[in-house]
């Protein structure tokens, strides 16, 4: 399979070999209650920002993107992180047709590193793993650690697909707060960025980190920062929403998107810095780098089939 290098464009920040811990970005102060007419203007402002972001990220490309191939590295961060980078060669499809008249399903397949006994995992859509020539299923209680890694990597790939259409993310945000201007402080190494800030609820959004299965695809509250100069998505905070409707501020994820490149005219964030957010402080979790990326690669169910 041939992969395509991402064409570099002007980057948002300067790449560093180590992630710098940014100051915990806080949303602007709440605005005073607004009238019905003012509410209409608020919604117009929110829609206008989403349109600008869509134009910046996709241009005139209206193609539906639901699959891709990529090579990524995941560098664990934090004081307790193991100093081991993981490289994944990924094939991912959000809507793969598995049978005639059947609904399309999510499938993934990836290789982990290289060696005499290569490790491979996937979902076809049933989860499986291969080590060397030995293939096993990952259903039930068998090898829960490998299954957790497969689930985590799948959520990361879902995130990357979502970020390819940042305008759609902002259009889907449900909220009544106006777009505001604020400074996003990304710490000593990355500096400050003047941004437009928007927030609201999403029906669902995947998180990379976290072990609570009940919140991985549940509704979330999102805060998003958009670079004023480029209209590119600069960072997001994601908080799960509990069944009682309250936002779980102690269980969030903060993601900084950096070093945008282009593939087929679509902006691709080549670096994701992922932090845990507990409502008061940020903790480094991982740096994800995309080395190659090919949108809408020719992938069918055969590409994801569990090996014999």
Whole-number average pLDDT of the chain: 85
pLDDT score, position 27: 75
Q: Tens digits of per-residue pLDDT, 27-56?
A: 776 666 656 688 899 999 999 999 999 999
- Least confident interval from 38-42, 58-62, 72-76, 137-141: 137-141
Q: Are 278 and 266 in contact (CB under 8 A)?
A: no
Q: Looking at the predicted structure, is the pLDDT value of residue 280 above 80? A: no
**30 or 21, which is more confident:** 30
**For the chain, what percentages of helix, strand and coil (3-state, to nearest 5) are there?**
20, 40, 40
Tokens linked to 32:
């005073």
Pairing of strands 86-96, 67-76: antiparallel
Are residues 272 and 261 in contact, defined by beta-carbon separation less than 8 angstroms? no
Q: Does the pLDDT of residue 92 top 50, yes or no?
A: yes
Q: pLDDT category, 70, cuts 50, 70, 90?
A: very high
Ordered domains of the chain (ranges, CATH): 36-301 (2.50.20)
Q: What average pLDDT does range 132-146 have in this prediction?
A: 87
Q: What is the pLDDT of residue 2?
A: 40
Tokens found for residue 93? 């499809």
Respond yes or no on whether the N-terminal peptide bond of residue 11 is cis (omega within 30° of 0): no
Q: How far apart are the first and last CA of the chain?
A: 20
The pLDDT of residue 272 is above 70: yes
Q: What is the mean pLDDT of residues 210-223?
A: 67
Note the pLDDT of residue 35.
66
**Measured CA angle at 122 (ends 121, 127), to 5 deg:** 105
Burial class for 83, CB neighbours closer than 10 Å (0-12, 13-18, 19+): exposed
- Residue 246, pLDDT score: 85
pLDDT computed for residue 34 by the predictor: 58
Outline where DSSP puts E strands in the chain. 7-8, 67-76, 86-96, 105-112, 119-123, 127-131, 134-137, 180-185, 192-202, 220-227, 233-240, 252-263, 266-277, 282-295
Q: pLDDT per residue over 154-207, tens digit each?
A: 999 999 999 999 999 999 999 999 999 999 988 777 788 999 999 999 998 887
Rounded average pLDDT over 99-123: 89
Chain segment 113-125, per-residue pLDDT in tens: 866 677 999 999 9
Assess whether pLDDT exceeds 90 at residue 140: no
């Amino acid at each position: 399979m041939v992969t395509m290098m991402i064409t570099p464009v002007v980057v948002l920040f300067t790449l560093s070999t180590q992630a710098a811990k940014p100051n915990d970005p806080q949303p602007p102060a709440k605005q005073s209650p607004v009238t019905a007419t003012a509410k209409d203007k608020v919604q117009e402002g929110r829609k206008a920002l989403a349109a600008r972001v869509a134009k910046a990220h996709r241009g005139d490309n209206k193609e539906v993107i639901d699959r891709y191939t990529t090579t990524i590295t995941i560098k664990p961060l934090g004081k307790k992180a193991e100093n081991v980078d993981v490289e994944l060669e990924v094939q991912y499809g959000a809507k793969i047709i598995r049978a005639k008249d059947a609904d399309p399903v999510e499938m993934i397949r990836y290789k982990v590193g290289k060696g005499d006994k290569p490790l491979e995992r996937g979902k076809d859509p049933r989860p499986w793993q291969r080590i060397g020539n030995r293939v096993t299923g990952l259903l039930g209680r068998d090898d829960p650690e490998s299954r957790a890694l497969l689930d985590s990597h799948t959520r990361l790939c879902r995130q990357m697909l979502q970020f390819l259409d940042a305008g759609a993310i902002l259009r889907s945000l449900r909220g009544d707060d106006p777009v505001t201007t604020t400074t996003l402080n990304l710490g000593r190494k990355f500096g400050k960025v003047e941004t437009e800030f928007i927030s609201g609820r999403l029906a669902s959004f995947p998180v990379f980190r976290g072990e609570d299965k009940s919140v991985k695809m549940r509704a979330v509250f999102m805060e998003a920062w958009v670079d004023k100069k480029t209209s590119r998505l600069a960072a997001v905070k994601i908080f799960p929403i509990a069944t009682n409707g309250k936002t779980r501020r102690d269980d969030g994820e903060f993601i900084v998107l950096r070093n945008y490149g282009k593939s087929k005219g679509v902006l691709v964030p080549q670096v994701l810095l992922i932090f845990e957010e507990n409502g008061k402080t940020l903790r480094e979790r991982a740096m994800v780098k995309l080395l190659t990326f090919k949108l809408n690669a020719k992938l069918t169910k055969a590409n994801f089939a569990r090996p014999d």
